[in-house]
Amino acid sequence: MTTAFDLNLIGRFVALLLPAAELRDGGNIRQSDMNFGGVVRGQDKVLSRAGQNCGTETMPSKAAPNKRCSTSNETKGKIEVTTRTKVKHMKQIKILLLAAALALPLVAKADIAGSKHDFSTNSWNTSRHTMCGPCHSIHDTDPSQLVPLWKHATTTKTFTMYDSPSFDGKATQTAQPSGASKACLSCHDGSLAVNQSFDGSYSSGSVVGGVTNIQMVGVSRQIAADGNLSATHPISFDYTDVASKDEFIKAPSSALTFATGNMVGKTVNDLLKGGKMECSSCHDVHKQKGAAPTDTFMRIVRNDYSELCRSCHIK
Ligand code: HEC
Ligand code: HEC
Ligand code: HEC
Ligand code: HEC
């Protein structure tokens, strides 16, 4: 993980410095050149901080990653060239500072640390500050293996699954949510405490659980609190089976059209869990995949222009 982290860091710096090299010989700084080779494509916030103003074209599109703002509406931060060398160096320093400033917030959020799923600083987690502990453990985990080495208590709620007259997944859908989805619901259905382990122990062994202890923070973050999954996107069914029946569902082998980050080059199959559609087909609980590190809801494909939906649906 450390290696991937470092490479990520280096990768981002290199990507950020490339345009800097390009700028060095120019007479003025064209801020529109800061397109980062598509690396932070779609990070509107970051781009606007860099001063980019391309009218409606705030980001280069996937089809034309190097497309720049059209001359008519681009913002040029002109710097007059008086003493050539001095200005050249100043520019280099400024660009380096800008690159560093841009790289930090992007890198800092690229995993579970600091995310909504990081409970290491919660009041009930002060003895060992475990980051994985609320969900996984090394020994003495739930033998049901709902997700690998699952330590959290599992919801016992009976859910009403999704159905509709046109839903093709009914034939393969499990009677109750399966695998990772059931794991998500074990906190998100609001029935169990966030720090409730399956055997009543937590971390160093002290009992900190209990349904009334740490409830899901914010009722708005509860999913199917009433057990009703029929009002949420269908889950726990065989995607491949549906794709073979429904011509408007992409084949699992289809390339992820709107992928960013480490999901570039991956297929729809990489969103599935053993060929099945689950909560984690859209969200990355560890906040690492694709757009998840910076997306508000840890979505693997961000949902501007409904790109997440269009990753699977031909609509
Ligand atoms: C909020 C709960 C939660 C926390 C915290 C958490 N995980 Fe997970 N983890 C899951 C779930 C749910 C899955 C099932 C994966 C999926 O469906 O995406 C999983 C899967 C995994 C897997 C196997 C599949 C994969 O994605 O690689 C590993 C390894 C893993 N977690 C390691 C960790 C480590 C190490 C930590 C701490 C740094 C951690 N997890 C923190 C919930 C959590
Ligand atoms: C150990 C308990 C736990 C598990 C397991 C868990 N979550 Fe969460 N999750 C939380 C908490 C607590 C929050 C923060 C809620 C808040 O801020 O009100 C959260 C936040 C989120 C958010 C972000 C909501 C926001 O405010 O931006 C998403 C999306 C999410 N979880 C999805 C999932 C998915 C998908 C899974 C399973 C793969 C999962 N969670 C598993 C406890 C959990
Ligand atoms: C088809 C993709 C998809 C699936 C499957 C999915 N989600 Fe979401 N989820 C989203 C999107 C998109 C949002 C952003 C808010 C919105 O559009 O309503 C979201 C928002 C959330 C939030 C933030 C709170 C809220 O209601 O806005 C949580 C928590 C969450 N999802 C958890 C889950 C859990 C748990 C499951 C499985 C039972 C799940 N999601 C299945 C796409 C999905
Ligand atoms: C990982 C792939 C995937 C993603 C992402 C996804 N879906 Fe789906 N969705 C499916 C599959 C497969 C079905 C089942 C289709 C069927 O029954 O024909 C489905 C079912 C549906 C249905 C119900 C269809 C019915 O006939 O009852 C709707 C509506 C829907 N999705 C909308 C969305 C929206 C909106 C988004 C984006 C927020 C989204 N989906 C994201 C794969 C996905």
Q: Beta-carbon neighbour count of residue 205 at 10 Å?
A: 8
Q: Which residues are near ligand 1 (CB < 6 Å)?
A: 112, 117, 131-132, 134-136, 147-148, 180, 183, 273, 280, 285-286
Q: Atom 31 (ligand 3): residue with closest C-alpha?
A: 297
List, in sequence order, every residue forming a beta bridge with 197; answer none if it has no partner. 152
CA-based nearest residue to 154, from 116, 193, 122: 193
- CA 68/CA 117 separation, integer angstroms: 37
Instruction: Say which residue the tokens 């280069």 belong to.
Output: 60
Q: Atom 10 (ligand 3): residue with closest C-alpha?
A: 282
Q: Which atom of ligand 3 is nearest to the CA of 303?
A: 12
Lowest mean pLDDT among 192-206, 240-254, 292-306: 192-206
Higher-confidence residue of 74 and 275: namely: 275
For ligand 3, mutation pick of 146, 152, 217, 223 (most atoms within 8 Å of CB): 223
Cα-to-centroid distance, 147 and ligand 1 (Å): 8
For ligand 2, mutation pick of 115, 130, 187 (most atoms within 8 Å of CB): 187
Q: How confident is the model at residue 94 (pLDDT cuts 50, 70, 90)?
A: low
Encoding tokens for residue 297?
A: 């809801």
Q: Atom 19 (ligand 2): residue with closest C-alpha?
A: 116
Q: Distances in Å between the alpha carbon of 129 and those of 143, 187, 209, 246, 315?
A: 24, 19, 16, 47, 45
Per-residue pLDDT, 91: 54
What are the start-end ranges of the H helices in the chain? 2-24, 44-49, 84-108, 179-188, 239-245
- How does 156-177 read in b/e, with b if 16+ C-beta sit within 10 Å? ebebebbeeeeebbeebbeebb
Cα-to-centroid distance, 283 and ligand 3 (Å): 7
CA 220 to chain centre: 19
Tell me the pTM: 0.78
**Encoded amino acid at 192, one letter:** L
Q: Beta-carbon neighbour count of residue 102 at 10 Å?
A: 21
Q: Is the dihedral of CA 131, 137, 142, 143 positive or negative?
A: positive
Q: Which atom of ligand 4 is nearest to the CA of 164?
A: 27
Higher-confidence residue of 236 and 16: namely: 236
N-terminal to C-terminal alpha carbon distance within the chain: 37
Per-residue pLDDT, 201: 64
Packing angle, helices 2-24 and 84-108, rounded to 10: 150
pLDDT digits (tens, 9 = 90+) for 146-185: 999 999 989 999 999 999 999 999 999 999 999 999 999 9
Cα-to-centroid distance, 249 and ligand 1 (Å): 28
Q: Atom 38 (ligand 4): residue with closest C-alpha?
A: 309
Q: Atom 15 (ligand 3): residue with closest C-alpha?
A: 297
Q: Beta-carbon neighbour count of residue 106 at 10 Å?
A: 18
Per-residue pLDDT, 44: 30
Q: Specify the 3-state DSSP secondary structure of 55.
A: coil
pLDDT digits (tens, 9 = 90+) for 120-143: 887 777 778 889 988 999 998 999
CA-based nearest residue to 161, from 181, 141, 136: 181
Please determine, for residue 303, whether its predicted confidence score (pLDDT) is greater than 50.
yes
- CA 207/CA 310 separation, integer angstroms: 45
Q: Which residues are near ligand 2 (CB < 6 Å)?
A: 116-117, 134-135, 152, 180, 183-184, 186-188, 194, 216-218, 221, 279-280, 283, 285, 296-298
Q: Which atom of ligand 3 is nearest to the CA of 222?
A: 29
Instruction: Say which residue the tokens 């490479």 belong to.
Output: 7
Q: How confident is the model at residue 119 (pLDDT cuts 50, 70, 90)?
A: confident
Q: Atom 12 (ligand 3): residue with closest C-alpha?
A: 303
Please determine, for residue 96, whether its predicted confidence score (pLDDT) is greater than 60.
no
Encoding tokens for residue 79?
A: 């710097």
- CA 114/CA 54 separation, integer angstroms: 32
Which of the given ranges, 30-44, 105-119, 200-214, 267-281, has the highest pLDDT on average?
A: 267-281
Please determine, for residue 88, whether its predicted confidence score (pLDDT) is greater than 60.
no
Higher-confidence residue of 93 and 249: namely: 249
